[in-house]
Amino acid sequence: MKKTLIVLLAALLMGGTAFGQAVSDRNVIPVAVNLNQVLRMTITNGGNIEFVFNTIDQYKNGISGDAVTNTISADMYQTDFTISSSTRWKISYGAESATFLGVDDPGHTLALNNVGFSIISNGAHLFETTGPQATTDTEELWDEQQNAEAGVDGAPAALVQYPADLIEDNDSGTQANAGDATDNDFTLVWRCGTGEDTNGTIPMASESLIDQNPSPDPDRYVANVLFELSVDN
Amino acid sequence: MTKTAFFSAILVFAGTLISASLAGQNWNSARLSLLYGGSIPFNFNSIKAYSEGIEIVDGTILGITLTDNNEPGHDLEGFELTFKTFNGQTAVSGTVNDLPLNVIRVKAENNLGLGAGTTTGYQDLDAASTILFSYTSIPFSDLIWDTHQLSLSYECGKPLSAGGNGTLLGKPPDYYAVEIEVELIPTGPGF
CATH number for the domain spanning B134: value is 2.60.40
What are residue A72's DSSP bridge partners?
A: none
Q: Is B170 within a domain?
A: yes
Cβ distance B11 to A8 less than 8 Å, yes or no, reads: yes
> What is the DSSP annotation of B77-110?
-EEEEEEEEGGG--SEE-SS-EE-GGGEEEEEEE
- Rounded to an integer, what distance in angstroms lies between the CA atom of residue B154 and that of residue B163? 13
- Rounded to an integer, what distance in angstroms lies between the CA atom of residue B54 and that of residue B50? 8
How high is the pLDDT of residue B72?
A: 79
Q: Above pLDDT 70, what percent of chain A?
A: 76
- Shortest CB distance from A4 goes to which of B11, B26, B174? B11
Quick one: closest CA in B to A181, which residue? Answer: B47
How high is the pLDDT of residue A136?
A: 39
- Rounded to an integer, what distance in angstroms lies between the CA atom of residue B172 and that of residue A12? 58
Instruction: Note down the domain range covering B70.
Output: 28-187
Contacts of A4 in chain B (CB under 8 A): 4, 8, 11-12
How high is the pLDDT of residue A156?
A: 84
**How many cross-chain Cβ pairs, A to B, lie less than 8 Å apart?**
181
> What is the DSSP annotation of A67-111?
T--SHHHHHTTEEEEEEEESS-EEEEEEESSSEEEESS-TT-EEE
Is the per-residue pLDDT at A21 higher than 70?
no
- Shortest CB distance from A28 goes to which of B8, B179, B185? B179
pLDDT digits (tens, 9 = 90+) for A140-187: 455 555 445 545 555 788 999 999 888 888 777 777 888 899 989 988
Quick one: closest CA in A to B21, which residue? Answer: A15
Cβ distance A28 to B180 less than 8 Å, yes or no, reads: yes
Cα angle B41-B42-B46, degrees, rounded to a multiple of 5? 140
Q: How far is B73 from chain A (nearest CA, A)?
A: 11
Q: How far is B171 from chain A (nearest CA, A)?
A: 6
Q: Is B93 within a domain?
A: yes
Structural domains counted in chain B: 1
Q: Strands B78-85 and B130-136, how do they pair? A: antiparallel
Q: Is B23 within a domain?
A: no
Contacts of B34 in chain A (CB under 8 A): 27, 29
Contacts of B183 in chain A (CB under 8 A): 24-26
Q: Is B7 within a domain?
A: no
Cβ distance B28 to A33 less than 8 Å, yes or no, reads: no
Helix B3-26, helix A2-18: angle, nearest 10 = 20
How high is the pLDDT of residue A233?
A: 75
Contacts of B161 in chain A (CB under 8 A): none
pLDDT digits (tens, 9 = 90+) for A119-143: 888 887 776 654 444 443 434 455 5
Would you give per-residue pLDDT tens digits along chain B (191 residues)?
Answer: 555 555 555 545 554 444 444 444 445 588 999 999 999 999 999 999 999 999 999 999 999 999 887 777 888 899 999 999 999 999 999 999 999 999 999 999 999 999 999 999 999 999 999 999 999 999 999 999 999 999 999 999 999 999 999 999 989 999 999 999 999 999 998 88
Cβ distance A180 to B176 less than 8 Å, yes or no, reads: no
Contacts of B140 in chain A (CB under 8 A): none
3-state secondary structure A155-197: CCEECCECCEEEEEECCCCCCCCCECCCCCEEEEEEEECCCCC
Is the per-residue pLDDT at A107 higher than 80?
yes
Is the per-residue pLDDT at A11 higher than 70?
no
Q: How far is B115 from chain A (nearest CA, A)?
A: 21
How high is the pLDDT of residue B28?
A: 59
Cβ distance A34 to B103 less than 8 Å, yes or no, reads: no
Cβ distance B184 to A38 less than 8 Å, yes or no, reads: no
Is the per-residue pLDDT at A20 higher than 80?
no
- Give the type of residue at A233: N
- Rounded to an integer, what distance in angstroms lies between the CA atom of residue B166 and that of residue B169? 9
Contacts of B86 in chain A (CB under 8 A): 28
- Shortest CB distance from B104 goes to which of A31, A88, A179? A31
How high is the pLDDT of residue B4?
A: 59
Q: What is the ipTM of this complex?
A: 0.82
Quick one: closest CA in A to B61, which residue? Answer: A29
